[in-house]
Amino acid sequence: MIHNIEILFTQYYQILRAYAFRYVQNQDAAKDIVQDVFFELWLRRNEIDFELPMKAYLFKAVLNKSRNFIYDKRVKDKINFDSENDIQFIDDYLQSFVVYQEDSLLLKDLDREIKNYIETLPEQCHRIFVMSRALNLKNKEIALQLGISIKSVEKQITKALSGLRNHLKKNELISLLLLLLSGLNN
C-alpha cells in the first residue's frame, strides 16, 4: 500500500500542486494542501482500494482543501448567526475542521457534540450526510448510489444541517463555534 501511495505521489504531486495554486494563489499553501491530501490518503490506506482509479479522488480532495483554505481566510470576526447563511456557515465549518485544532478542549467538546448529534439522525439522513460531508460526494453521486432523487438528497442534507444548527443553538454552542472560528484568523 505504501508503494501505491508513493507511485501516486510521484505521478500527481506536481499537477495537484499547480491545481491547488490555481485556487489559493499561494505556493506554500498549495504545497501544504497537496501534502495534507497525501497524508490523509496514507492515514486511510487500509480503507482505500488502490485498484480503483485515484486521479478523480485526488483532484476532488485538493479542490475541497483549496476551498477550505480560501474560506478560512475569509472568515470574519463577527458573523450573524441569525442570517440565512448559518446553515452554509456550519456546513463550511464541518468541511474545514482540521486535525491540528484537536488539542483545544473546547473544540473537542464542540466536535463531540456535533458527532453525537449526527449519530441521532435517522438512518437514511445519517447515511446521506456522512456521504456528503465525510466522503465529499456530490449530491448527484449520492443520489445515484442510493437510487433516490437529487432533491431527496438535498432535502436530507438541509434537514441534517438545520437540525444541527438548532441543536447547537439549544446547547448554547453556536457562540462557541463563532468564538473558535474567529480565533482561527487571529
The 10s digit of each residue's pLDDT in 25-67 is: 889 999 999 999 999 888 888 887 777 788 888 988 998 898 8
**Comparing 2-74 with 86-184, is the CATH topology the same?**
no
Per-residue burial over 140-170, b if 16 or more Cβ lie within 10 Å, else e, is: eebbeeeeeeeeebeebbeebbebbbebbee
Residue whose C-alpha cell is 443520489: 143
Q: At residue 59, what is the residue type?
A: F
> Does residue 2 or residue 23 have the better pLDDT?
23
Q: Which of 185, 36, 184, 181 is nearest to 110 (CA)?
A: 181
Residue whose C-alpha cell is 485544532: 101
First to last CA, the chain: 39
Residue 144 banded pLDDT, cuts 50, 70, 90 = very high
Residue whose C-alpha cell is 497537496: 34
Domain boundaries, the chain: 2-74, 86-184
Question: Taking residues 121-149, what's their average pLDDT?
Answer: 90
> Does residue 84 or residue 174 have the better pLDDT?
174
pLDDT value of residue 156: 94
Q: At residue 74, what is the residue type?
A: R
pLDDT value of residue 132: 87
Mean pLDDT of the chain: 77
According to DSSP, residue 135 is labeled S
pLDDT value of residue 108: 66
User: What predicted TM-score, i.e. pTM, was given to this entire model?
Assistant: 0.44
CATH for 2-74 is 1.10.1740.10
Q: Does domain 86-184 have CATH number 1.10.10.10?
A: yes
Cα(53)–Cα(166) distance, integer angstroms: 39
Exposed/middle/buried for 132, CB within 10 Å: 0-12, 13-18, 19+? buried
> Does residue 92 or residue 26 have the better pLDDT?
26
